[in-house]
Amino acid sequence: MKRLLTVKFFTALLIAGLLCLGLSANANGQSPKAKAAFTSEPAAQQPLFSEYKGVRLGMTAQEARTILGKPELQATDQDFYIFSENETAQIAYDATGKIFTISVDYLGGIGAPDHKAVVGGELELSPNGSMYRLVRYENLGFWVSYNRSTGPVATVTLTIQKFHGTYRRQK
């Protein structure tokens, strides 16, 4: 069982990392239509989705664990939670032990909030049938994304992440 959870954890981590790198690398070279899926909100705009089950960016690992309970897998830099067959979450911590990424997966989309409640607007449809939208809150220092994969069992992934290193767009 632990081996299966470890494989799931690292698979989810790899997918989240590739997604983050792909989104940040592709955002500047997109067509005007695709750029609509990567928007920056005006300074006065407040995010629609900025926490998960009461856990927010900048909280300590201890605060997150107090709210979410004991993770299935725990490390100094990240925790992995399994809430049900359909809902898992990864919480990543920076070197100071504070949350810089929250990523939640809904297998089959079961239990996932509507995309408009997370990123507003419409999702961009990619050629492979997946759907996504990323909204940058420059004034608050983070972005939020909604991704729906394709395949026999679609997965909805919600991510909240602080701008970090190469993810921060140059002005």
How confident is the model at residue 127, as a pLDDT? 92
Instruction: Give the whole-angstrom CA distance, residue 134 versus residue 152.
Output: 24
Tokens of residue 35, six digits = 């750029």
Instruction: Give the whole-angstrom CA distance, residue 78 versus residue 167.
Output: 19
How confident is the model at residue 40, as a pLDDT? 52
In contact, 123 and 133? CB cutoff 8 Å = yes
How confident is the model at residue 121, as a pLDDT? 86
Low-confidence ranges of the chain (pLDDT < 50): 1-36, 38, 41-44, 166-171
How confident is the model at residue 31, as a pLDDT? 42
pLDDT tens-digit map of 68-86:
999 999 999 999 999 999 9
How confident is the model at residue 5, as a pLDDT? 43
> How much is the CA Rg of the chain, to the nearest whole Å?
16
Residue matched to tokens 């990523």? 103
Please state whether beta strands 55-56 and 73-74 pair in parallel, antiparallel, or not at all (unpaired): unpaired
How confident is the model at residue 35, as a pLDDT? 43
pLDDT tens-digit map of 104-134:
999 999 999 999 999 998 999 999 999 999 9
- For the purposes of burial, counting CB atoms within 10 Å of the CB of 15, is it exposed (0-12), middle (13-18) or buried (19 or more)? middle
Range of the domain at 91: 2-167
Please state whether beta strands 131-137 and 38-40 pair in parallel, antiparallel, or not at all (unpaired): parallel
How confident is the model at residue 165, as a pLDDT? 54
